[in-house]
Chain A
Amino acid sequence: MINKLVISNLAHRPVRTALGVLAIAVEVCMILTLVGVSYGTLDSAARRARGVGADIMIRPPGASIISLSTSPMSDKLLDFVAKQPHVAGVTGTAVQPLSGFDSITGLDIDSFSKMSGGFHFLEGGPFQTDQDILVDEYYAKEKHLHAGDHVRLSNRDWRLAGIFESGKLARICARLAAIQDLIGNPNHLSQIYVKADSPDHVEDVLNELKAKMPGYQIYTMEEFTSLLTVNSVGMLKNFINVVIGIAVIVGFIVVFMSMYTAVLERTREIGILKAVGASSGFILKLLLRETIVLSILGSILGILLTYVTQWIMQNAVLSSLTQETVYAWWPIAALIAVTGSLLGVIVPAFKAIKQDAVEALSYE
């Protein structure tokens, strides 16, 4: 019977109900989109890292997981690593960060191709000069680029030599020497990729390198890609928490306003319920259920909206961001929405409970 009253009250003011649901949906969508983009971006980074075909990765001491570090390792290490037992291939890269999550990776095309099987070009081909860059298909699509185009990146003009199938190492590549020159750090590397002669020897090579190169961060690729999670990237985690905080506040305000006007508008009805013997608990239950229905409907709509933002990111406003659907966050986002809403209904609910029945009944 309470549910019937809750539903009929929600249906009585369809515009207010719809706006409340929509606002909560935007809140949920905001959280899920941010989380989806974080996961998506890290996962595509992991996929590209796996695409190198290496078994082991060496990073300079003190680098972070999604480090934007410039190149502090000497390229003499390449020869040193290559001489170790069971090492089949070695290649080094230098990375120059760009805006946002983008960066240009300098690579030695011969050793890289040997390790990874080489780029599969969709347009154009490999580098001809130090002024040439290669980009992956998504970057090209996003920036409307074609082979032969001129691109300005990091205050330099580049010629787009080729567009390759995504999933190998990086999204923008140039010759190693060109990037080392750009960074002003010739003969230095950001990362070194190592391939063992057989999967059985990966562990041996890893131990050997760890013993001989103390202080360096040496991971198997498997280990490295598993480290690419939201929790291991402090900045992202904090960013997500800030957005969740904002979302809770938005939900709180929306529900507060909506339920406050609902309580005001229903002053008389609340008076009637009190007159016929409805307890404070009954009135509270009524408003809480109404709020929970609002926030659940909002959460469902918010989840559906993330598919819209996903589509928009892929098709309408192309960007270097990839949004994944993170199912585990559906209940979390819904719980956040419900929490914000319940906080919002506290004051209106107390106003309703404290209303004097006689005054409420004479309310016009």
Chain B
Amino acid sequence: MSETPIIEVRNLYKTYRAGDVDVHALQGTELDVAKGDFVSIVGASGSGKSTLFNILGSLTPPTSGTVNVAGMDITKLSSEERTRFRKSTVGFVFQKYNLLPTLTAEDNIRIVQYIGNRGTEFTPEFQEILNVLGIADRMKHKPRALSGGQQQRIAIARALVNRPAILLADEPTGNLDSQNSAAVLKLLKDLNERLGQTILMITHDQDAAAYSKRTIHMKDGKIL
């Protein structure tokens, strides 16, 4: 690998308390993801993949180790800096879509653009992404009027609106039927190929992982 990886994880540990028990979710995890890659992390539940997702997205800090994302060591950030990092560097796609229920699809995207200090007008490039996602005619609807597949496509558009360095997807097809799953995965693949968007996807589904360029397995808090 000639270029510096966009994600570089070294000796990462995360221990958290669940009730009276210490859970060692990550135990010396190491990971490199190159810019423009589309990586799947596959593992059973409890393998630590969601914890890795939360740390990479700077939603939670690790116990020890280093995580470099787009040239920034995110383990040393303050709470405000982590907020700024999430705003500018990562886009999230969740299993449960996580759209704001009171806003229309369009406003769900615009508010994230607004939070990212990029105004509320979509750029021509982003209009192109919307076309690729095939949701132009559903933009005025509220989430509850949309199917799961449509909601997930809105969520993908929302994740990309601020042009993040990495797109993190946590079980993006977990709530979808096989047809919609295939459509969403094809879209992710397409976005990776067309835009060179770096994508890191967490899944327990081998079929889903097959859409990515590279699959990494995780077990007991370690990359296999």
Contact = CB atoms under 8 A, between A and B. Distances in A.
A11 B88 CA distance: 31
B111 interface: yes
Given A276-B112, A277-B115, A282-B115, A5 B87 contact: no
Interface string B66-93: 0000000000000010011111100010
A275 B100 contact: no
Contact of B107 (A4, A271, A279): A4
A269 interface: yes
Interface string B169-198: 000000000000000000000000000000
Q: Name, among A277, A278, A356, the residue most crowded by chain B CB atoms within 10 Å (CB to CB).
A: A277
Interface residues of B, number: 28
B19 interface: no
A357 B98 CA distance: 12
A335 interface: no
B100 A5 contact: yes
Contacts of A152: none
Interface string B114-135: 1110001000000000000000
Interface residues of A, number: 25
Contact of A5 (B98, B99, B103): B103
Given A4-B107, A8-B102, A275 B115 contact: no
A282 B83 CA distance: 11
23 contacts: A1-B110, A1-B111, A2-B114, A5-B102, A5-B103, A11-B102, A269-B100, A269-B101, A272-B99, A272-B100, A275-B98, A276-B86, A276-B87, A276-B116, A277-B84, A277-B85, A278-B83, A278-B115, A280-B83, A357-B59, A358-B59, A361-B59, A361-B94
Given A275-B92, A276-B92, A276-B112, A358 B60 contact: yes
B57 interface: yes
Contacts of A361: 59, 94, 98
Contacts of B103: 4-5, 8
Nearest to A357: B59
Contacts of B112: 276-277
Nearest to B87: A277
Contacts of B116: 276-277
Interface of A: 1-2, 4-5, 8-9, 11-12, 268-269, 271-280, 282, 356-358, 361
A5 B112 CA distance: 12
A9 B142 CA distance: 13
Contact of A274 (B83, B100, B102): B83
A282 B87 CA distance: 12
A284 B120 CA distance: 20
B147 interface: no
B11 interface: no
Nearest to A10: B102
A279 B102 contact: no
Nearest to A277: B87
Contacts of B100: 5, 269, 272-273
Contacts of A275: 57, 59, 86, 92, 98
B158 interface: yes
Contacts of B15: none
A136 B45 CA distance: 86
A16 to B, nearest CB: 13
B92 A1 contact: no
List the 3 closest A-B pairs by CB distance, nearest first. A277-B87, A8-B102, A1-B114
